[in-house]
Amino acid sequence: MKSKKLKGTEPSVRDKLSASFLKAFQNDFEINGIEAIEKLREESPSKYAEIASRLIAAAEPQPEGFEGCRSPRDLGIALLKSVGTNEFDINEDMITEAIKCNDDFIDALQAIRAAAEGAMQ
């Protein structure tokens, strides 16, 4: 079965699952409230601290687009997603090719700059 391409405004499967989980978690918290948190802290302080640190990290806004890229592989994935490639269809060959295309593009831009600088001298 062929996957449907994501539209730019359509949330990813990960975003949908995260939203569903957070909604369920919120509902559970509304029912069981602070007592559940207090019980967790008392029974497992290390787990309590781990969950707290993960929630704090998750609450920080994630950079969008290319700003969140920390490696060439991340950049390749972001490039493919930017043209509508479904994240589940992306494979290593596609990532390698996207990185190569980006490198070629950067080389072409640098050649344009070099030619302009040479013309100004």
- As a whole number of angstroms, the distance between CA 22 and CA 34 comes to 16
1 pLDDT above the threshold of 70: no
Name the percent of the chain in helix, strand, coil, to the closest 5: 75, 0, 25
Model confidence at 81, pLDDT cuts 50, 70, 90, reads very high
Q: What is residue 67's DSSP assignment?
A: G
0.85 exceeded by the pTM? no
- As a whole number of angstroms, the distance between CA 117 and CA 2 comes to 48
Cβ-based neighbour number of residue 118 at 10 Å = 8
pLDDT of res. 60? 64
What are 22-54's pLDDT values in tens digits?
788 788 888 988 898 899 889 999 998 888 888
- The residue among 86 and 23 whose pLDDT is bigger is 86
- As a whole number of angstroms, the distance between CA 118 and CA 120 comes to 5
